Amino acid sequence: MVVMGFGAATVLGTVLLMLPFSSEAGEATDPVTALFTATSAVCVTGLVVVDTSTYWSLFGELVILGLIQIGGLGIMTLASLLGLLVARRMGLRMQLVAQTETKSLRLGESKRVVLGVLKMSVAVEVVVAIILTARFAAGYHQPLGQAMYSGIFHAISAYNNAGFALYADSLTRFQTDAWIIVPVMAALVIGGLGFPVIFEVTRSMRRTATRNRTASHWSLHTKITLLTYGVLAVVAVLSITAIEWANPHTLGPLGVPGKLLAGTFAGISPRTAGFNSVDIAGMHPSTLLLTDVLMFIGGGSAGTAGGIKVTTFALLAFVIVTEIRGEPTVHVMGRRLSAMVQRQAITVALLGVGAVMAGTLTLLLLTDFDLDAVLFEVVSAFGTVGLSAGITADLPAAGQILLVALMFVGRLGPITLASALALRERGRRYELPEERPIVG
């Protein structure tokens, strides 16, 4: 149902974008371009084959904006509901037999999740839109109507980690303007962490004064997400800023404050935001590779970010550390991880690697671009990031359709796969004799 719903939204968006009045020239758009743009918007990716601000008319831009909002809200809501369903179903084993009827989601729970996602989305988007509108009007002398439209568009695009911009250079022209960069960065982080984490943190903050509730009462999911997201953000910002500090094509020409701001944004944005304030094609190859890793990992579960998710990455790290120590079970922050969760993390990660490798190999066979650019493009599509090394528009139709498939799989694959694996677990009434093949 999830796949069919997003597929229907993509088809509808494709049809609307093919209409003559969706383009600035008043001509019908070819199906591949319309399909690519619609998929990129619904999957909140941000990859484009035509410039958003010059090719599409106001109607076309509004269609894209609507698809972004539908895709972002849909992913966050459905992922939160699936997560709640999985948590409730798995929790049955710890409950009394008399309570087994609670295994399904009740109407009240579903309603609270949907309303919670909607309220949080509107609140963040409104605040960011007001700040951006004021800056566009006061700092860049845009007419109030244009400033409001630009502020709302970029606020929605940022919160949903879509990466669509109304400027051909994305946000490069604002790379040293903190009034633009910081609100956009805050929106993409909040959207990328996921509704369950934001909801738990804000609820805990409200209860702290009255019940003396601290971070120690957070769920394991929230602790892992915040810790891993924070560590990866710090490592990414410091590494990219250091590597690109003297690069004349990126941070080199900027002053120290501008370098720090642009470097921070370059480290945060690959967590599937898709905006860029420096030229991606001018980055050092080591920065491109680091960005590939960040895009593949992505953000938090049940959020607008893509990738295999930081929780999956962290769980694999915990498994490796436990194996190196020679311990029989994986313990994390006072809790033991079940073997089922470990298998799910391995499955999601390895299937993600397989999708990226297959996409990269196919695109190398279809084009003459070098490996750095092709790998960057494929990982960006699978992680629903939207950053590009500048080759998207030059890909043949077959290559663009391949990226469409990767965007769709990367957006829905990890969510639906993890939920399906958790909900279809079956017991086994026997075990075969154990044997240990040689590893390594």
pTM over the 0.85 mark:
yes
**Secondary structure string (H, E, C) spanning the chain:** CHHHHHHHHHHHHHHHHHCHHHECCCCCCCHHHHHHHHHHHHCCCCCCCCCHHHHECHHHHHHHHHHHHHHHHHHHHHHHHHHHHHHHHHHHHHCCHHHHHHHCCCHHHHHHHHHHHHHHHHHHHHHHHHHHHHHHHHHCCCCHHHHHHHHHHHHHHHHCCCCCCCCCCCCHHHCCCHHHHHHHHHHHHHHHHCHHHHHHHHHHHHHHHHHCCCHHHCCHHHHHHHHHHHHHHHHHHHHHHHHHCCCCCCCCCCCHHHHHHHHHHHHHCCCCCCCCCCCHHHCCHHHHHHHHHHHHHCCCCCCCCCCCCHHHHHHHHHHHHHHHHCCCCEEECCEEECHHHHHHHHHHHHHHHHHHHHHHHHHHHHCCCCHHHHHHHHHHHHCCCCCCCCCHHHCCHHHHHHHHHHHHHHHHHHHHHHHHHHHCCCCCCCCCCCCCCCCC
Q: Average the pLDDT over 60-81 and give the result.
A: 85
- The residues near 140 (Cβ < 8 Å, ≥ 6 apart) are 147
pLDDT at 354: 93
Each domain of the chain, given as residue ranges in start order, spans: 2-93+112-423
Please check the confidence at residue 74 and state whether its pLDDT lies above 60.
yes
Least confident stretch, 17-31, 43-57, 62-76, 107-121: 107-121
pLDDT at 107: 47
Average pLDDT score over the chain: 87
Calpha distance 161→44 (Å, rounded)? 6
b/e sequence 146-161, b meaning 16+ C-beta within 10 Å: ebbbbbbbbbbbbbbb
Q: Average the pLDDT over 46-52 and give the result.
A: 93
Q: Mind listing the pLDDT tens digit for each residue in 230-244? A: 999 999 999 999 999
Q: Average the pLDDT over 187-209 and give the result.
A: 83
Tokens 């809501």 correspond to what residue?
77
Calpha distance 122→120 (Å, rounded)? 6
